[in-house]
Amino acid sequence: MSVASGNDRSPAASPGGATSSASEREEATAHDVLGAIELELAQLLRRAERTRASGAPGTSRRDGTLDRSGYLLLHTLGTHGPLHVTALAERLGLDGSTVTRQVAALEHAGHVRRARDPRDGRAVVVEPTTAGLDELAAHRAARTAVYADVLGGWSRLDRALLAELLTRLNDDLDAYRHRRDAP
Amino acid sequence: MSVASGNDRSPAASPGGATSSASEREEATAHDVLGAIELELAQLLRRAERTRASGAPGTSRRDGTLDRSGYLLLHTLGTHGPLHVTALAERLGLDGSTVTRQVAALEHAGHVRRARDPRDGRAVVVEPTTAGLDELAAHRAARTAVYADVLGGWSRLDRALLAELLTRLNDDLDAYRHRRDAP
DNA sequence: TCAGATACCTGTATCTGACAGATAACTACC
DNA sequence: GGTAGTTATCTGTCAGATACAGGTATCTGA
């Protein structure tokens, strides 16, 4: 499990020229690490798409269980309490129409309740039902169990590191997105 | 706020083993960490899906550039050399039909070349073209640049840690998938 | 009151992938 | 050789997640 053993002889992209100074060599290394992160993330994401399509880890749906979108939406509601569709979209980083559909699906499954906001006739307050929260907990436990299996060989420290680094990565990706959207 | 303060993240025993009767507390903590990992990954993956749909980081297509699927396929070819469709599907963890279509798209764009295997008339050998490899390198540079921006505030050590942990995570997810498929 | 902003919903399109079935080619065995 | 079974690929069809555009209802301020 050597550190990022980049067994990756991509035909190009090698910073040309024999490196002379240490700083140049360091930059090349930094670049490689970024490339490795980029590649690993791409692979991770594609794998996840495949996983979602088939029924592997925590997926099922159509029988009342949650897919990832529903899971994250419900999780947001469970964490922040009842929210408007717009607020959900904002927190989830999604288009409002997408959230509308996800909420509709969750409502159909009995996981959330929708109600007009009495103080704003345009707005809809989305609130988790008890059944929804139960399903959320069960789903979360199932997903966590999968990761307990996947990460069975990891030390506690490495798991903690992964959790923290992923959190930071998410935060920084979020910041990046905002940086790009705003200006 | 570097995570890797003590640079020994080796699978050594948990530091501060002073906790004696706290096995219950430790289990709860371990569970929380798994839950955090699970949640962060779910968020990461969903974010990526959104990113793909809009045009943010490394997406463009239709003008000869690569989407993520094409990128990974081309990368596999660049790393392993010419491969059959089946071998590609196996390495990418995808259904053969999916690879067929991705290869067709890449061929249309001039990024790969297809040829019947002379030793097996059923098989098709997929090979990257020079243009494809160039595009791969350019694409990879662009994506790497995005991550250089996203991870701009990270220490070199944390980046290296992330790269390693992601690599291990991918490997273990792969192993998990095989464990589930085979038996 | 009326214009504009806001919140949500619906219609439509795209991207990615899977599964099932069709076709062509190879392999074994009699 | 002929026939059956296997394998490699392709094609048809479907589903999920999401975006964008446009529509309707509602609110807000002058």
Give me the residue spans of the domains in chain B. Answer: 48-150
Q: Given CA atoms A12, A13, A17, A21 in this order, what sign does their dihedral have?
A: negative
Distance from CA of B170 to the nearest CA of A (A): 6
Q: How far apart are CA A65 and CA A46, in angstroms?
A: 23
Which CATH number describes the domain made up of A60-178? 1.10.10.10
CA distance, residue A117 to nearest chain B CA (Å): 28
Closest Cα of chain A to B6: distance in Å?
Answer: 11
- Return the percentage of chain B with pLDDT > 70, whole number: 74
CA distance A59 to A61: 7
Q: Please, how many CA atoms are within 13 Å of residue B41, restricted to the half-sphere of its CB?
A: 31
Question: B137 touching A, CB under 8 A?
Answer: yes
Please name the residue that has the structure tokens 């007009």: A116
Q: SS in 3 state form for A69-100?
A: HHHHHHHHHHHHCCEEHHHHHHHHCCCHHHHH
> From the CA of B103, how many Å to the C1' of D8?
14
Dist CA A141 CA A14 (whole Å): 44
Residue A109 has pLDDT above 80, yes or no: yes
Query: Which nucleotides of chain D have an atom under 7 angstroms from any protein CB?
Result: 7-12, 16-22, 25-28
Can you give the pTM of this predicted structure? 0.77
pLDDT value of position B127: 94
**Domain B48-150: assigned CATH number:** 1.10.10.10
Question: Given a cut of 90, is residue A139 above it in pLDDT?
Answer: no
At A146 the pLDDT is: 87
Task: Give the Cα separation of B144 and B52 in Å (integer).
Answer: 16
Q: How far is the CA of A61 from the C1' of D19 (A)?
A: 23
Query: Is the separation of the CB atoms in B95 and B89 below 8 Å?
Result: yes
Q: How far is the CA of B122 from the C1' of C27 (A)?
A: 13
In whole numbers, what is the pLDDT of chain B averaged over residues?
Answer: 78
Q: pLDDT band at A86, cuts 50/70/90? A: very high
Q: Please check whether strand C approaches the CB of A119 to within 7 Å.
A: no
Asked if B25 reaches chain A (Cβ–Cβ under 8 Å), the answer is no
